[in-house]
Structure 1
Amino acid sequence: MRNLRAVGLLLAGTALLAGSFTAGSRWLTDRDATSEVDGRTDTVPRHEVARSISGHLTLPVILRGPRSVDCAKDLRAVEGARTHCTAHYLRGTDRDMTVRVVRVRHGEITYVRDVPHR
């Protein structure tokens, strides 16, 4: 009876751990975002793009994302438009990435980031 209970606890713990890794992995690989376009400039400001990317690089429970993200320029509301961004981590490590517009619709753009270069 005791062994059966121990095996049950072990299986439940393993399932919980696997689910946590799957959710965290999905969070970090989810690379698209949608933002409103500034009607005056027809762009999404670079600080908004950086904020969105920073949120995607941080796990929801374990806050181990970048300390900051900087983007070179505003993101134009044109499919295929790109900007270069850099994520700055606490250990002094920087990760470069490219952000690209994939859809423009009704005053909003959807953009994706590539996997940060190591």
Structure 2
Amino acid sequence: MGVINTLLHWVIFYLLVSLGLSQAMSNLLAFLVAVTFSYFVNSKVTFNSQYSFIKYVLFTGLMGIIAFTFGLIADYFSVAGIYTLIAFSATSFVLGFIISKVFIFKDPKSE
């Protein structure tokens, strides 16, 4: 699932950058598309959990701030897009899984 999510993010990022958007906005928009796909698939496939609009907004908001921040930093330092994607993807993979596992798709029986 992570590979599909990452590919989706990268393709959309490069499409938006090639259309003239900043890395910050491209990374945020690409992330939003990829995370929406990822949230709904992971809720059923990976974590066998129910959809929750509040949890979706919370997860998307937290990770969206990180995506936009990576893009802002890349824009400020004129970093090539590939490095932005690699750094964000690695960070997103780790933080996204932790946030999902601990907060978003937490098993209610474990409380």
Q: What TM-score results when the alignment is normalised by the length of structure 2?
A: 0.39
| Greater helix share, structure number | 2
Asked which structure has the greater CA Rg, the reply is 1
Q: Structure 1-normalised TM-score?
A: 0.37
Indicate the structure whose relative CO is greater, using CA pairs within 8 Å and at least 6 residues apart: 2
